Amino acid sequence: MAVSRDDRPVTGTNRIRKFPTGANYAEVLQHPELCFRDPDLRHGTVQQSAVLGPKAISGNFASVFSITARDGQRYALKCFTRDTSAIGTRYTVISTALRALDTGSLSQPWPVRFEFLEQGVLVLGDWFPVLRMAWVRGTDLISWIDRHHHDPTAVHTLADRFLAMTGDLEDNGIAHGDLQHGNILVAEDGTLRLVDYDGMYVPALKGEVATENGHRNYQSPQRGAADFGPAMDRFSTWLIHLSLLAVATDPSLWNQLHEPQGEYLILSESDLRSPATSLAWPLLLGHSDQRLRTAAARVQGFLGQPCSTLPRLTADTLTSPTSRHKRKAGTTTPTTTGTTRGATDPATPHFGTLPAWMVDRMASATAAAVPTPPALAPTGFTGRRPRDLTAAAAALLSTAAPGVLSVTTGQPEGYLPAAQGAALLASAAVIGIGRRLRPEYRTAHQRIRELRRRARELKDPAGAHQRLEQEMQKLDDATAKEGAVADKRIRTLQTDLRVGLARITMELNRRTDQPHKRKAELSAREQNMIAAALEPAVRRHVEAKLRATSIQEARSLPNMGAKTVGALMRAGIRTAADFTGVSYSQSQGTGNRVAYFIHAGGHYIRVPGVGEARASALDAWRRSLEQRARTSAPAKLPGPALARIRAEIATLRARYDREIKQAESKAQQDRDVLQKRITDERQRLTADRQQRAMETQRKRADLLQRQKQLSGAEAERARMTGALSTARTETRRNLGVRKYLTFLLTGH
Amino acid sequence: MPYTAEISRTNPGCFVFLVDQSASMSDPMGTGEVTQQRAKVVSDAINRLLTELSVKCAKEEGVRDYFHVAVIGYGHNHVGSAFQGALAGRDLVPLSEVANNPARVESRTKKVPDGAGGLVETSVQFPVWMDPVINGGTPMTRAFGYADSLVANWVEAHPSSFPPIVLNLTDGESTDGDPTSAAIALASHATADGAVLLFNLHVSGSDGTPVTFPDSEEGLPDTYARLLFQMSSVLPSHMRSYAASQGHRVSETTRGFVYNADITSIVEFLDIGTRATELR
């Protein structure tokens, strides 16, 4: 049995050393003057939490505390809660490697200096190592993106900095081992700091093994301890870069894919492990931005590849040469990035909520592309349609009808003029309606309305400008609001899917639990059945053997004379088969124990002269005979009997297998249905979003154009008034009632 | 693979502590030269576990809700929340609330090594969420039933989470019948990630050798210990690795059972964030 004492941390020569817990450290740090040897720390001030004393920031292997020395220098003190193999040696090697870096050649000051103190902190009488580092002021990656995802320029710049930092690592043969949001800090100037070097690889550690496998939401499913080496960051590097690129390209992706409080950027472990059921991949792989699509496909392709074979992330591996060129321009002059990016593809509608900078660019591009409506004068009616002919016929008929009626029905004379007047009115109306229904007339009128509106706008350009501004604001707000709702819905679909799949698994486990258990018991059950089937034959065999052993043979036992054997025979015990055991009872008189032989028939026999000692010797003799007989007993069932049992077991096994299989296929069906429902919903939402974004852009472009036309209002107004009166005259001249009548009759 | 679900704020875990508050818990238990009441040992263990969990889940901005935590006491005529202070009467509470609301923070005097071979008396702050309570029988079966309903609801609401961990701290002498079937029922609740883990901490007056995470009942001092051992769940593989890394000898049948020893280390068995390699 494994027993161990664990009252307190054990030190000594054991390879394994139990380290204090986070709370142990938090307790001793209440008295820095007692637990530290280092003078800076001894006299330092430990940052406190509101309630629980020294404030810890904990990871899976350590808790970090903040201590400010008397000279104002603030330190991060890392206290280890798990013994990682040869922690001190590793840190010394890592420290040497980092100090050897030529800081001038680095893209940014990402390394954080640290000092490994072997006798760092005293806990329960033992010294434990600590890592003393300068406190890094910075924001972790998730908080930073939360704050900046609406600023694509900033996110792009960060992605470039990340690329540069990982480039520094690669150039020096270093790998961090646990690249993730918590270990990448963004300093105030926007450059990056890399913290937590527990799992770091430097060339001098070649041949060692990993102590950790990195954060589950950032690592390739293929990563294992053997991947400890210069290439171990490759997957997480690509993944983080893809995430930054995605957010920079389409900020709404952050809202759609990053769950608030989720410990990942936009892709999590389940997306990496089961891309087929992921909702995130389709959004990235089907994105309207080609560069993002390509990058996503690339990273998805890495999922099945061994980590060591992944390529290094470099600017050149990222994109095609042309778009890279544009990116470069953006990088060097961040202020113009928006322009460059926005102008790349104005014709392709973006499917996310458009970032402000992009809407502007796209709208003006669209506005410029749409020419001012040409001042085409209406040229007259062309092409009679059945409707026109119907109108003509109706007019003709209604004019003639009253006369015809009065003739045929004998109406009074006075009826005719009144009826004829009404009929004329009716035909005028029919012609009027016919004319108005003509597309030429409608176009001309719409144009007049439009011109009137513009004329009105031009009367008060400032007011109109403001009204348009408000309209645009309203449009933007509405779009943003709708977008946010859709984003949230897309995000919650991921939760729905996760929870739904979990429920299906739970149900599957419930249904297969029993059959699995029963199946596991089958081989034991088979053995029992065989044993039970053999039992009669074994009993007969043992019985025969015992029967064949005369009680005379018991004379070989010590203290067993002819007299005793004679008494046994007289009592009916002639062979070893004549009794099955011995029983004792306390004698009332003497207090001695009295022995009884249990006859094969079940009754008890007392044999004079056979006391406890002899009886138990005889019992043991009989039992050893039985034992021996059993070993020679038939051990194999006759073929047919064995086959029967095997068949029975096989039937049971098949039944359990069937039950399990049924449950599994039911679960698979349920999964497919759920997956389809969620995927359809996701597609619908995405399509709606895309549709709405296009609509908004169109409306916005329209409003922008109107706003643009307001400049130079005076000249425009004069032009507009002229255009308006021309349009009216033209319309009257070319599309008047007379023209229509002529058109109706002649077709010209 | 079971017991591998991420523990995060979006996929939190669940701890239910069951605390024996029966009269027998007033008996002393020896820990070296100091003798303490069992009830005191157990309430201290709970208070330390809650501190440990809070520190483990503390980040820059404060304690994160990686877990929902209940502390249920069971004694005479009462099975229910053992929280005192602001949390009194509440069952499952998000960890950040637990961390921010101890009933009080005590100042305890403690002798600590001064690093130069001597001892020095000092005071340490000790957050307290529950005090020892001693009252009547040991309705362990009812306590398991109470935990059962808490866990059943929680599992229903968190189907993809790491399964709840129920830790029972007791001197072992159930007075409302054999709790085995209630324990089996409790441990049969499951999320998609696996069944409930039921662990037991047995505090006893008998002077047995402390035992931590045994893999068989051989060598356990009494029938109560053996019964509790049988009810305890086998440690999932990654917890076994952690137990091994803390110097415990483990095997495939190692169970979450501790006899007269510290169980605070169980908190270290929980993976949050970065994964350790399976075995070193």
Q: Is pLDDT larger for residue A1 or for residue B191?
A: B191
Question: Which has the minimum average pLDDT: A117-121, A558-562, A585-589, B45-49?
Answer: A585-589
Nearest chain B alpha carbon to A263: B8
Q: Which residues of B touch A51 (CB under 8 A)?
A: 99-102, 105, 127
Residue A26 lies in a domain: yes
Q: Is A262 on the interface with B (CB under 8 A)?
A: yes
The domain that holds A37 is classified in CATH as: 3.30.200
Question: Which has the minimum average pLDDT: A402-416, A575-589, A718-732, B155-169?
Answer: A402-416
Q: So what's the pLDDT on residue A348?
A: 37
pLDDT at A369 over 70: no
Q: Which residues of A touch B107 (CB under 8 A)?
A: none
Contact call for A60 and B190, based on CB within 8 A: no
Q: Is pLDDT larger for residue A409 or for residue A331?
A: A409
Least Cα separation, residue B136 to chain A (angstroms): 30
Question: Which has the minimum average pLDDT: A233-247, A328-342, A453-467, B143-157?
Answer: A328-342
Is residue A604 within 8 Å of A593, Cβ to Cβ? no
Option in A1, A4, A34 nearest B218 (CB): A1
Residue A187: how many CB atoms within 10 A of its CB? 15
Contact call for A57 and B214, based on CB within 8 A: no
**CB-based burial, A555-576: b 16+ in 10 Å, e otherwise:** eeeeebeeebbebbbebebebb
pLDDT, tens digit, 9 for 90 and up, residues B79-92: 999 999 999 999 99
pLDDT at A322 over 50: no
The phi, psi pair for B99, rounded to 5°, reads -60, -35
pLDDT at A115 over 60: yes
Least Cα separation, residue B76 to chain A (angstroms): 31
Mean pLDDT, residues A105-123 taken together: 93
Q: Residue A483 corresponds to which amino acid?
A: G
Q: Are residues A187 and A301 in the same domain?
A: yes
Name the domain boundary from A290, A315, A345. A345
Q: Is A503 on the interface with B (CB under 8 A)?
A: yes
The domain that holds A207 is classified in CATH as: 1.10.510.10
Contact call for A56 and B58, based on CB within 8 A: yes
Residue A494 lies in a domain: no
Mean pLDDT, residues A573-592 taken together: 84
Could you tell me which of B22, B19, B23, B67 has the C-alpha nearest to residue B45?
B19
Is residue A79 within 8 Å of A102, Cβ to Cβ? no
Mean pLDDT, residues A593-618 taken together: 86
Q: Which residues of B touch A3 (CB under 8 A)?
A: 209, 211-212, 214, 219, 249
Q: Are residues A41 and A186 in the same domain?
A: no
pLDDT at A339 over 50: no
Residue A36 lies in a domain: yes
Nearest chain B alpha carbon to A84: B280
Least Cα separation, residue B177 to chain A (angstroms): 27
> Which residues, in sequence order, are CB contacts of A73 under 8 Å at separation 6+?
A40, A134
Could you tell me which of A90, A194, A72, A96 has the C-alpha nearest to residue A141?
A194
Please state, in angstroms and rounded to a whole number, the distance separating the CA atoms of residues A595 and A612: 5
Q: Is A63 on the interface with B (CB under 8 A)?
A: yes
pLDDT, tens digit, 9 for 90 and up, residues A435-448: 777 787 888 888 88
Option in A16, A27, A211 nearest B277 (CB): A211
Could you tell me which of A708, A705, A695 has the C-alpha nearest to residue A366?
A705
Least Cα separation, residue A75 to chain B (angstroms): 15
Is residue A267 within 8 Å of A280, Cβ to Cβ? yes
Domain that holds residue A47: 22-134
Q: So what's the pLDDT on residue A338?
A: 34
Q: Which residue has the tokens 């303490």?
A: B36
pLDDT, tens digit, 9 for 90 and up, residues B130-177: 999 888 889 999 999 999 999 999 999 999 999 999 999 998 788 898
Q: So what's the pLDDT on residue A714?
A: 62
pLDDT level of residue A8 (50, 70, 90 thresholds): very low
Least Cα separation, residue A91 to chain B (angstroms): 18
Q: What angle do the packed helices A141-148 and A234-249 form, to 10 degrees?
A: 10
Is residue A76 within 8 Å of A66, Cβ to Cβ? yes
Three-state DSSP class for residue B110:
strand
Residue A195 lies in a domain: yes
Is residue B152 within 8 Å of B145, Cβ to Cβ? no
Q: So what's the pLDDT on residue A79?
A: 96
Q: So what's the pLDDT on residue A192?
A: 97
Least Cα separation, residue B121 to chain A (angstroms): 11
Q: Are residues A159 and A226 in the same domain?
A: yes
Nearest chain A alpha carbon to B264: A21
Q: Round the average pLDDT of chain B to a whole number and report it.
A: 89
Q: Is A505 on the interface with B (CB under 8 A)?
A: yes
Option in A59, A225, A510 nearest B274 (CB): A59
Residue A512 lies in a domain: no
pLDDT at A350 over 60: no
Q: Which residues of B touch A213 (CB under 8 A)?
A: 274-277
B-facing residues of A in 225-254 (CB < 8 A) are: 225
Q: Round the average pLDDT of chain A to a whole number and report it.
A: 83
Q: Is A10 on the interface with B (CB under 8 A)?
A: yes
Please state, in angstroms and rounded to a whole number, the distance separating the CA atoms of residues A521 and A649: 11
Reported ipTM: the value is 0.94
Least Cα separation, residue B241 to chain A (angstroms): 12
Q: Is pLDDT larger for residue A725 or for residue B50?
A: B50
**Most B CBs within 10 Å: which of A87, A185, A506, A512, as the mutation test of the B interface?**
A506
Q: So what's the pLDDT on residue A413?
A: 56
Please state, in angstroms and rounded to a whole number, the distance separating the CA atoms of residues A167 and A237: 10
pLDDT level of residue A397 (50, 70, 90 thresholds): low
Nearest chain B alpha carbon to A81: B268
Contact call for A16 and B247, based on CB within 8 A: yes
Residue A492 CA, distance from chain mean position: 11
Q: Are residues A151 and A257 in the same domain?
A: yes
Give the gyration radius of chain A's Cα atoms.
47
DSSP 3-state helix, strand, coil percentages of chain A (rounded to 5)? Answer: 60, 10, 30
Q: Which two tokens stand for residue A130?
A: 């600590």
Is residue A350 within 8 Å of A370, Cβ to Cβ? no
Q: Could you give the C-alpha distances from A249 to A243, A244, A292, A690, B78, in angstroms and in order? A: 10, 8, 7, 15, 60
pLDDT at A5 over 70: no
Residue A722 lies in a domain: no
Q: Are residues A190 and A318 in the same domain?
A: yes
Three-state DSSP class for residue A159:
helix
Contact call for B273 and A16, based on CB within 8 A: no
The dihedral of CA A269, A273, A279, A282: what is its sign? Answer: positive
Nearest chain A alpha carbon to B11: A262
Q: Are residues A208 and A295 in the same domain?
A: yes
Question: Which has the minimum average pLDDT: A138-142, A297-301, A702-706, B84-88?
Answer: A702-706
Share of chain B above pLDDT 70, in %: 95
Beta bridge partners of B105: B127
Please state, in angstroms and rounded to a whole number, the distance separating the CA atoms of residues B215 and B220: 11
pLDDT level of residue B268 (50, 70, 90 thresholds): confident
pLDDT at A63 over 70: yes
Q: So what's the pLDDT on residue A553?
A: 87
Q: So what's the pLDDT on residue A705?
A: 85
Share of chain B above pLDDT 90, in %: 61
Nearest chain B alpha carbon to A509: B192
> Which residues, in sequence order, are CB contacts of A496 under 8 Å at separation 6+?
A678
The dihedral of CA A716, A722, A726, A729: what is its sign? Answer: positive
Q: Are residues A155 and A106 in the same domain?
A: no
Q: Are residues A112 and A63 in the same domain?
A: yes
Is residue B140 within 8 Å of B165, Cβ to Cβ? no
Three-state DSSP class for residue A422:
helix
Least Cα separation, residue A96 to chain B (angstroms): 25
pLDDT level of residue A21 (50, 70, 90 thresholds): very high
Scanning A7-134, the segments in alpha helix (DSSP H) are 22-28, 32-35, 39-42, 87-99
Residue A367 lies in a domain: no
Contact call for A34 and B114, based on CB within 8 A: yes
Strand ranges, E, within B8-54 = 13-20, 28-31, 34-37
Q: What is the DSSP letter of B233?
A: P
- For B63, counting Cβ atoms within 10 Å of its Cβ (0-12 exposed, 13-18 middle, 19+ buried), the class is buried
Please state, in angstroms and rounded to a whole number, the distance separating the CA atoms of residues A194 and A181: 10
Q: Which residues of A touch B55 (CB under 8 A)?
A: 21-23, 25-26, 52, 56, 58, 63
pLDDT, tens digit, 9 for 90 and up, residues A635-655: 888 889 899 999 999 999 999
Mean pLDDT, residues A662-682 taken together: 95
Residue A490: how many CB atoms within 10 A of its CB? 22
Q: So what's the pLDDT on residue A12?
A: 35
Q: Residue A30 corresponds to which amino acid?
A: Q
Beta bridge partners of B80: B73
Q: Could you give the C-alpha distances from A654 to A261, A490, A699, in angstroms and in order? A: 47, 43, 66
pLDDT, tens digit, 9 for 90 and up, residues B11-49: 999 999 999 998 888 887 765 556 778 888 889 999 999
Name the domain boundary from A84, A109, A134. A134
Residue A369 lies in a domain: no
Q: Which two tokens stand for residue A490?
A: 């897309």
Nearest chain A alpha carbon to B217: A1
Q: Are residues A274 and A312 in the same domain?
A: yes
Question: Which has the minimum average pLDDT: A104-108, A551-555, B140-144?
Answer: A551-555
Least Cα separation, residue A215 to chain B (angstroms): 4
Nearest chain A alpha carbon to B59: A57
Nearest chain A alpha carbon to B268: A21
Size of interface A-B (CB pairs under 8 A): 208
Three-state DSSP class for residue A206:
coil
Could you tell me which of B167, B153, B163 has the C-alpha nearest to residue B236?
B163
The dihedral of CA A274, A280, A285, A291: what is its sign? Answer: negative
DSSP A279-311: SHHHHHHT-S-HHHHHHHHHHHHHTTS-GGGPP
Q: What is the dihedral of CA A637, A643, A645, A651, to 10 degrees?
A: 170
Q: Are residues A129 and A192 in the same domain?
A: no
Domains and CATH numbers, chain B: 13-269 (3.40.50.410)
Is residue B2 within 8 Å of B194, Cβ to Cβ? yes
Number of separate domains in chain A: 2
Option in A34, A57, A182 nearest B112 (CB): A34
Could you tell me which of A97, A104, A103, A107 has the C-alpha nearest to residue A176?
A97
Q: Are residues A237 and A286 in the same domain?
A: yes
Three-state DSSP class for residue B75:
strand
Three-state DSSP class for residue A239:
helix
The dihedral of CA A433, A439, A445, A446: what is its sign? Answer: positive
Q: Which residue has the tokens 């099945």?
A: A304
Please state, in angstroms and rounded to a whole number, the distance separating the CA atoms of residues B21 and B82: 10
**Most B CBs within 10 Å: which of A24, A27, A61, A233, as the mutation test of the B interface?**
A27
Contact call for A182 and B265, based on CB within 8 A: no
Is residue A130 within 8 Å of A32, Cβ to Cβ? no
Option in A18, A57, A180 nearest B58 (CB): A57
pLDDT at A334 over 80: no
pLDDT at A689 over 70: yes
Is residue B220 within 8 Å of B31, Cβ to Cβ? no
Name the domain boundary from A134, A150, A178. A134
Residue A229: how many CB atoms within 10 A of its CB? 19
Q: Are residues A111 and A224 in the same domain?
A: no
Least Cα separation, residue A637 to chain B (angstroms): 35
pLDDT at A7 over 60: no
Q: Which residues of B touch A81 (CB under 8 A)?
A: 268
Least Cα separation, residue A498 to chain B (angstroms): 7
pTM for the full predicted model: 0.77
